[in-house]
């Protein structure tokens, strides 16, 4: 019975992670911080009210270490990815 319950919890948790767009979630020993992997946000939706994740098959995967409850589509992640794009454009094109 315990085995079945444990299996159900793992399967249910995996479904929830997939629903959030999380590809993998590995908590540290404290269970507070996790290494999360999820697709980046589509650049053309970063400024919309409804950002959307890229398809994982595109290979643009974020490797995040932080709170286990991090939202891949949350305000903090949107701001972080906007900053990443701005820094990359500045690196490529400078002050042109």
- At 37-67, the pLDDT tens digits run 999 999 999 999 999 999 999 999 999 999 9
Please give the mean pLDDT across all residues of the chain: 84
Q: Do residues 23 and 61 lie in contact, with contact meaning Cβ atoms separated by under 8 Å?
A: yes
Top pLDDT among 8 and 31 is at: 31
47 DSSP 8-state letter: T
Top pLDDT among 83 and 1 is at: 83
Q: What is the pLDDT of residue 94?
A: 80
Q: What is the pLDDT of residue 95?
A: 64
Torsion (CA) 56, 62, 64, 70 in degrees, nearest 10:
-60
Q: Exposed, middle or buried, 64 (CB in 10 Å: 0-12/13-18/19+)?
A: middle
């Amino acid at each position: 019975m315990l085995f079945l319950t444990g299996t159900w919890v793992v399967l249910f948790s995996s479904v929830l992670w997939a629903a959030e767009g999380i590809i993998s979630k590995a908590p540290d020993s404290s269970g507070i911080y996790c290494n999360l992997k999820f697709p980046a946000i589509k650049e053309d939706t970063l400024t919309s009210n409804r950002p959307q994740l890229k398809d994982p098959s595109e290979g643009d995967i974020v490797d995040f270490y932080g709170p286990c409850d991090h939202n891949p589509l949350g305000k903090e992640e949107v701001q972080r990815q906007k900053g990443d794009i701005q820094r990359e454009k500045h690196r490529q094109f400078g002050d042109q």
